[in-house]
Amino acid sequence: MTKIAFMGAGSTIFAKNVLGDVMLTSSLCDSEIALYDIDPKRLKESEIILNNINKNSNSGRAKITSYSDRKEALRGAKYVVNAIQVGGYEPCTVTDFEIPKKYGLRQTIGDTLGIGGIFRALRTIPVLLDFARDMEEVCKDALFLNYTNPMAILTGAMLKSTSIKTVGLCHSVQVCASHLLEGLNMDTKGVQWKIAGINHMAWLLEITKDGVDLYPEIKRKALQRETPHNDMVRYEIMKRFGYYVTESSEHNSEYMPYFIKSKYPKLIEKFNIPLDEYPRRCVEQIKNWHQMGKDLLDNKSIEHKRTTEYASYIMEAMETNIPYKIGGNVLNTGLITNLPKDAVVEVPCLVDSSGVTPCYVGELPPQLAALNRTNINTQLLTLEAAITSKKEYIYHAAMLDPHTSSELSIDEIVSLCDDLIEAHGNWLPKFV
């Protein structure tokens, strides 16, 4: 019986999707599923919903158990899915947004890069390293499937500071080409594409149909699309740098120095940028969860349809040795030759019974590699801060962040970091 541990199982909808997928996969449907979360109420809710899905969609074949003991949840696992959020919306996400706002520094999502991404990483890495220490003791050969942001930094922490086999997984690669084409009313059937770069800033390097390059038509239609719409930052990046980027406009607007600028407030309107989007989304989700959670819990006949999340397909490929291709976040072992070798890159990977094997990409177009490196600088310095516990590396990471450094002076950046360290208190380790 294959054991699958889900860390952060109180993320009920995501746990439902990933583990519902597992239960609908013939090679995994008899699995032992271990649920772990520090919130006992949300953990119990997830257990109830998953047991109903197991009964209705899987004839009760999976064994589902909740654990309050993390090490016991992990013991003997072959796959570990990570979906935790350290500090939650309150207090930590609120802190990540409200204190920078006092300095005039605005964000949209704040979970991957920027000042919000830096501090989310710093409070999450110690928890993941604790997971890894437990895994090295009780399931040392397990594959760690990381879904938590900031993806590149956290995946890098696992790969560089532990012995645990890890791959980072994101939704944006799967939907990139279809999202682009659907927004331009272009047919998605039979389209081939190639994507590589870094998480949330990977590039649609090729997109063809029947051997014909679709980029000329895509760019022509993008220029003609009526505004405003939700893809305007990505279209501008494509116009100026030549390629479409995987992650949404609200994300990419805060990964670059060009779009959110206090001196040019009209840019916000011009590019339809939703400032404070993540806090707004959190408030809405929290409000809606009370009814949604009740509906799910009360629905004893709940069923599930398999989603496009990578996790179950990875496990299936490893169990059956039938190859499957994913876009995975892995260490750059010469995969993208003009990005740093210690960076985490997002590249095509082949999965089979031998595990996750990344594919060689070669050189990115130089302007794309240059943009990636601006983000990698902050990622690597944040990781350095977490590993060394030295405050100066937090400052360096923030000083080199493209958006933060375009808005604030060096003194303001240092002061902002100090304020965030103080405000986060015990959510962060001690830095010297």
| 8 found inside a domain | no
| 2 found inside a domain | no
Binding-site members for Mn(2+) are 170, 200
> CB-hemisphere CA count at 13 Å for 49?
26
What DSSP designation does 207 have? E
pLDDT at 1: 87
| 54 found inside a domain | no
pLDDT at 291: 87
Cα 248 from Cα 269, distance rounded (Å):
17
| 23 found inside a domain | no
Cα 331 from Cα 231, distance rounded (Å):
29
Instruction: Report helix, strand or coil for 3.
Output: strand
pLDDT at 289: 87
pLDDT at 347: 98
Q: Is the pLDDT of residue 290 over 90?
A: no
- Let me know: does 31 contact 4? Beta carbons within 8 Å: yes
| 330 found inside a domain | yes
**Parallel, antiparallel, or unpaired for β 212-213 and 201-209?**
antiparallel
Percent of the chain surpassing pLDDT 70: 100
| 292 found inside a domain | no
pTM for this one?
0.97
| Residue range of the domain that includes 204 | 85-275+309-432
pLDDT classification of 415: cutoffs 50, 70, 90: very high
- From 171, 304, 403, 424, the catalytic residue: 171
| 33 found inside a domain | no
Mean pLDDT of 4-16: 96
Known catalytic membership, residue 171 = yes
Binding-site members are 149, 170, 200
pLDDT at 334: 97
Binding-site members for substrate are 149
**Which CATH number characterizes residue 217's domain?**
3.90.1820.10
Provide the number of structural domains found in the chain. Answer: 1
Summarised one tens digit per residue, pLDDT across range 79-93 is: 999 999 999 999 999
| 222 found inside a domain | yes
